[in-house]
């Protein structure tokens, strides 16, 4: 797994105006996270990524294997994206911001990353 590639990519996502935080849960359950706001500290992402992974696993157990999920709340959106190599991305963005409007772009970029060893 190319940690340097993921860390660099996450750092670029984190600076998008309105991004609260972003993180990747690796197949070995380790997390790489970037926080762009005091509202979403790294620990918050580290604690929620396993819960998100559980949600995807539950859906997969019932024959639904989404490539990504998006939850919309009053305070923003959370996008969850499963990469073919196993990493799981979570992006949290404030509503009506460049980050929220770029969730599809970030999703496509993440899915296109070459994460082979």
What's the confidence (pLDDT) of residue 59?
A: 77
Yes or no: say if 77 and 95 are a contact pair by the CB < 8 Å rule. Answer: yes
SS3 18: coil
* pLDDT confidence of residue 58: 79
Determine contact, residues 80/106, Cβ cutoff 8 Å: no
Q: Cα 64 to chain center, whole Å?
A: 19
User: For the chain, which residues make up each domain, given as ranges?
Assistant: 3-80+90-112
Question: For each of the chain's 117 residues, which pLDDT tens digit applies?
Answer: 578 888 899 999 999 999 999 999 888 888 888 887 787 788 888 888 888 878 877 777 777 777 888 989 888 899 999 888 888 899 999 999 999 999 999 999 999 998 876
Instruction: Identify the pLDDT of residue 115.
Output: 81
Question: How many degrees, rounded to 5, is the angle at CA 94 between CA 90 and CA 96?
Answer: 125
pTM over 0.75: yes
Contact by Cβ (8 Å): 8, 80: no
At the second CATH level, the architecture of 3-80+90-112 is 2-Layer Sandwich (3.30)
What gap in Å lies between CA 20 and CA 3, rounded to an integer?
21
């Amino acid at each position: 797994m190319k940690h340097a590639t993921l860390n660099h990519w996450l750092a670029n996502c984190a600076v998008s105006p309105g991004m609260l935080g972003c993180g990747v849960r690796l197949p070995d359950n380790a997390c790489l996270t970037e926080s762009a706001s005091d509202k979403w500290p790294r620990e918050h992402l580290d604690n929620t990524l396993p819960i998100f992974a559980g949600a995807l696993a539950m859906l997969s157990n019932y024959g639904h294997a989404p490539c990504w999920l998006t939850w919309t709340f009053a305070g923003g959106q959370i996008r969850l994206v499963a990469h073919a190599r196993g990493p799981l991305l979570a992006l949290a963005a404030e509503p009506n911001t460049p980050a929220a409007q770029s969730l599809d772009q970030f999703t496509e970029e993440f899915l296109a990353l070459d994460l082979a060893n």
